[in-house]
Amino acid sequence: MSAMPRNNPPPARRLSLADRLIQEIDRGLRTVAAANVSARPFPDQGVAETVHDPAARRHAAGLMRVNHAGEIAAQALYHGQALTARNPVIREQLLQAARDETDHLAWCERRVRDLDSRTSLFAPLWYVGSFAIGAIAGISGDRTSLGFVIETEKQVVEHLEAHLHELPPDDERSRRIVAQMKEDEDRHAGEARKGGGINLPRPIRALMRRTARIMTTTAYRV
């Protein structure tokens, strides 16, 4: 008796550029407009609220709003880079980093709400602008794209380190979130270096710093 033929699953459909753009629009809308869900435990889980002074709460909320805006921008940058990446391994690396940023978004968003505040009203602008930069970086080549990751994460780590000193001394909940984010961002930079990322020219690094300064100053207040 002959063996019955196996019903092999049909090959996965290769997405067209239009399909991928629609997918990215959906990702962007979910990032900016929907409540983000963390795949990992919240770093401040089980820690009691200790910040009660109104001025300290406003300051901590402003800093965490800045961090949330930075994570919006970082995720958009990774999505833009992944869209135009040539190497599928690098594309998956970028998407995995973006998934880490989703955790960060959820952590920062909840912390801002717990401090009786809100996230930045300019979140859609941060996303669109960063996505465009990421797509351009990806078009420039995978090594250049990874160079953007290295420089972005380097600046983010410096920024988070500063926030660890600027947060109210008794704000252990925010401090634990920022410390875990810093560890993750430093890991992303190391992975990008191992992947062959190049050092970006000084003018581009300086422009990135000026752009980040505008975003952080605005997001702290709005």
Question: How many Cα atoms are found within 13 Å in the side-chain-facing hemisphere of 156?
Answer: 30
pLDDT at 15: 61
Is 33 contained in some domain? Answer: no
Three-state secondary-structure class, residue 116: coil
Looking at residues 186-198, what average pLDDT do you find?
Answer: 92
Is 12 contained in some domain? Answer: no
Is 30 contained in some domain? Answer: no
pLDDT at 34: 58
pTM of the model: 0.85
pLDDT one-digit tens code per residue, 95-143: 888 888 889 999 999 999 999 999 999 999 999 999 998 899 889 899 9
Domain count across the chain: 1
- Local confidence band at 22 (pLDDT 50, 70, 90 cut-offs): low
* Structural domain of 84: 51-221
Mean of per-residue pLDDT scores for the chain: 87
Sign of CA dihedral 184, 186, 192, 195: negative
| Nearest one of 100, 92, 90, 191 to 145, comparing CA atoms | 90
Is 46 contained in some domain? Answer: no
Question: How many Cα atoms are found within 13 Å in the side-chain-facing hemisphere of 51?
Answer: 22
- Alpha carbon distance 91, 81 (integer Å): 8
pLDDT one-digit tens code per residue, 39-79: 899 999 999 999 999 999 999 999 999 999 999 998 899 99
Is 155 contained in some domain? Answer: yes
Looking at residues 186-193, what average pLDDT do you find?
Answer: 92
pLDDT at 5: 45
Q: Is pLDDT of 16 > 80?
A: no
Is 4 contained in some domain? Answer: no
Residues 135/181, Cβ–Cβ less than 8 Å: no
Residue written as tokens 């599928």?
A: 88
| Nearest one of 176, 175, 177 to 166, comparing CA atoms | 175
Is 19 contained in some domain? Answer: no
Is 38 contained in some domain? Answer: no
Looking at residues 181-188, what average pLDDT do you find?
Answer: 94
Structure-token pair, residue 50: 């200790």
Residue 148 belongs to domain with CATH number: 1.20.1260.10
